[in-house]
Amino acid sequence: MVGAGGDGVVTMGDMLAQAGAREGLNVIKTEAYGPQIRGGESSCVVRLSADPVNAQGDRVDILVVFSWADFARFRGEVLPAPDALVLYEESDPTPREATGVVVGEEAVWVPLPFNRLAKATSAGKNIVTLGILSELFALPAAALRSAIQHKLGKKKTGVLEANLNGFAAGAELAGTLDPALAGRRLSYEKGEPKLLMSGNEACAVGALHAGCRFFAGYPITPSTEVLQFLADWMPKVGGRVIQTEDELSAIGAVVGASYAGVKSATSTSGPGLSLMSETLGLASMAEIPAVVINVQRGGPSTGLPTKSEQSDLWQALWGTHGDAPRVVIAPTDVEDCFHATVDAFNISEEYQLPVLVLSDQSIGQRRETIIASALEHEVIERRLPADLAGTPYARFAETPDGVSPMAVPGMVGGEYQTNGLEHDEQGRPASSHLTHERMSEKRYRKLRPIRDRYHRVRRYGPERARLGIVCWGSSKGPVKEAVLRANEHGESVAAFVPLMMYPFPKHQLQAFLKSVDEVLIVELSYSAQFAKYLRTFMDLPQEKTSIYKRSGGKNLTVEEIEGQILASTSAERVAGDLAEAISAAPLGAAIEGRV
């Protein structure tokens, strides 16, 4: 669905997604818009299925266009299927041949009076369109009406009634159209309702579940929804939210609140994470828990604020001065955002160091169905020392796992000195290189038990495979779908997706690499940050490893991954044919040895 700002395209998508979730369908809803603050164009893609879905889908079966001028902005992003049904505003002056829409001869073009019908009923044309879609494609009419009531029920008198009338008028109009269009009707059995949630909302819910009671943040696309959600819900559980003047203040407030004994977090995107780097070093040095949710967008600088990219990886891993240990977790879908956030708090509290949740716009702002019972996760509380009265207390005492007892202000006998300077076990500043070496080793000692305990990975496909795909984050969805399709067609393909980016589950990856003949690394980073990161600690044989990488701005598609699988299969067949020809030739064995 494509239109201008104010056409209600995203609202229409939300209502379709909500209706599908209430019917027990599996839903993924994505949206796209320009970087302007107000106005401009927007698009929304909704995928509905009775079967599980892993990605937003590459091509749309039904394309709704309110304005061809607005559609031009999304050319190359919103791709109709060759046989797509195109519903467009009949009064739009743009001729069909000038629209730039690439479809097959079997595509069906249907001009409709969206504007005229909306004006006649005093309804939004998005609501009129929902009525048309509901009747044409057997979408759940009752659930759609319920979504309209939920959205507009608090508007002034008459607004809800007018829009329900507009919905009915759209359905009536659809009943007069060519009956052949009804051949695309959705068929499914109603199931248990599902939750519909965005990745940003899932991170916020995860923070609340983990016991976070202080949040400081500065609005920045595409992470602002975390701040907005918690501003509404945190006070209801006795917590506090502060909108600070910038990201410097936000991370400073988080470290201060955590030092005071409260589980604390912030959210940001790439530019804001850059500003937080110095204070993240302070949290590492002072061993203070802190959680940062970073929702990646296209960069560098202001870059592509409303588009996704996987190019903050190096910054998340190493973006501070000095040797500053931290943990980085990368969720792969909306449900993962909940669990990754709870894990982040658990690790941060237990091991007393900063933890970054490395999401991206594709996950953070898309809405996806999940089962409510999936939102369960163990919560670990802060490790506090026992009564310290009358006993010597060393805040940074050496321990086998590197974790020392952390007192909070007000604990009798738990007073200690802390700042950003290197220090001895009592917290007193110490500039000796021997002390610095010993305390650095202590801080890094925490990472091994974290790696051994939290080796979160996803694996798809057979135990032994010809081709193994390694990816991370939001790339999982299209990679998983491509791998499952390939397996259905008899292709020997598997995938490995780590959630723990640092410390990395290298033993699990090593086992995966031994189980495949070739390796394909997939990522949305022009400079191949993920592939280069893997090479810092893994031996990836050049002759059996290939990389598929590109910049962000457009989400990864299943077609792209299938193309890479096909290319690797073709190369294998060519090599096999060559080997067969060589062995069949005179002196084949000698020639083969030279080759």
- The residues, ordered by sequence, that sit 6+ positions from 144 with a Cβ below 8 Å of its Cβ are 15, 16, 19, 130, 134, 167
Place of tokens 């893994």: 538
| pLDDT tens across the length of the chain (595 residues) | 999 988 999 999 999 999 999 999 999 999 988 776 666 789 999 999 999 999 999 999 999 999 998 898 888 889 999 999 999 999 999 888 888 888 999 999 999 999 999 999 999 999 999 999 999 999 999 999 999 999 998 888 899 999 999 999 999 999 999 877 767 788 889 999 999 999 999 999 999 999 999 999 999 999 999 999 999 999 999 999 999 999 999 999 999 999 999 999 999 999 999 999 999 999 999 999 999 999 999 999 999 999 999 999 999 999 999 999 999 999 999 999 999 999 999 999 999 999 999 999 999 999 999 999 999 999 999 878 877 877 789 999 999 999 999 999 988 889 999 999 999 999 999 999 999 999 999 999 999 999 999 989 999 999 999 999 999 999 999 999 999 999 999 999 999 999 999 999 999 999 999 999 999 999 999 999 999 999 999 989 888 999 999 999 999 999 999 999 999 887 665 555 545 554 555 544 433 333 3
Task: Produce one character per residue of 372-391: b if its CB has 16 or more CB atoms within 10 Å, e if not.
Answer: eeebebeebebeebeebeee
Choose among 525, 575, 566, 576: nearest CA to 547.
525
Choose among 34, 41, 36: nearest CA to 8.
41
Q: What are phi and psi of 495, to 5 degrees?
A: -140, 145
Distance CA 594, CA 562 (A): 34
- The residues, ordered by sequence, that sit 6+ positions from 107 with a Cβ below 8 Å of its Cβ are 80, 82, 83, 84, 85, 86
78-86 LR contacts (CB < 8 Å, sep 24+): 78/2, 78/32, 78/43, 78/45, 80/107, 82/106, 82/107, 83/107, 83/108, 84/59, 84/60, 84/108, 85/61, 85/110, 85/181, 85/184, 86/110
Q: Note the residue count of the chain.
A: 595
Q: At what angle are helices 159-174 and 125-137 packed, to 10 degrees?
A: 40
Question: What local confidence, expressed as pLDDT, does residue 348 receive?
Answer: 98
Q: What are phi and psi of 58, to 5 degrees?
A: -85, -40
- The residues, ordered by sequence, that sit 6+ positions from 43 with a Cβ below 8 Å of its Cβ are 1, 2, 3, 9, 31, 32, 33, 73, 74, 77, 78
Place of tokens 């979408």: 139
Sheet containing strand 457-460, edge to edge, reads 457-460, 493-498, 465-470, 516-523, 545-549
Mind spelling out the 3-state secondary structure of 303-318?
Answer: CECCCCCCCCHHHHHH
Choose among 205, 503, 206, 501: nearest CA to 343.
206
**Range list of β-strands (E), 5-69:** 26-33, 41-49, 59-65
Question: What local confidence, expressed as pLDDT, does residue 259 receive?
Answer: 96
The DSSP letter of residue 423 is B
For residue 261, count other CB atoms closer than 10 A to its CB. Answer: 16
Helices (H), 72-158: 114-121, 125-137, 141-152
The DSSP code sequence of 248-310 is HHHHHHHHHHHHTT--EEEEE-HHHHHHHHHHHHHHHHHT--EEEEEEE-B-STT-BTTS---
> How many CA atoms lie within 13 Å of 255's alpha carbon, on the beta-carbon side?
24
Domains in the chain, start-ordered, CATH in brackets? 2-193 (3.40.920.10), 196-374 (3.40.50.970), 383-454 (no CATH), 458-577 (3.40.50.920)
What is residue 541's three-state secondary structure?
A: coil
Distance CA 51, CA 61 (A): 16
Q: Distances in Å between the alpha carbon of 396 and those of 421, 422, 531?
A: 13, 11, 36
Question: What local confidence, expressed as pLDDT, does residue 41 receive?
Answer: 87
Q: At what angle are helices 159-174 and 141-152 packed, to 10 degrees?
A: 160
Which tokens go with 426?
A: 């009592």
Distance CA 324, CA 202 (A): 28
CA angle 448, 294, 474 (to 5 degrees): 85
What is residue 447's three-state secondary structure?
A: helix
Question: What local confidence, expressed as pLDDT, does residue 572 receive?
Answer: 65
Residues 247 and 219 sit within 8 Å (Cβ to Cβ): no
- The residues, ordered by sequence, that sit 6+ positions from 451 with a Cβ below 8 Å of its Cβ are 500, 503, 504, 505
Distance CA 297, CA 258 (A): 28
Choose among 512, 464, 493: nearest CA to 562.
493
Residues 379 and 315 sit within 8 Å (Cβ to Cβ): no
Q: What are phi and psi of 168, to 5 degrees?
A: -65, -40
Question: What local confidence, expressed as pLDDT, does residue 480 receive?
Answer: 98
The DSSP letter of residue 429 is B
Which tokens go with 310?
A: 């996987």
Question: What local confidence, expressed as pLDDT, does residue 178 receive?
Answer: 86
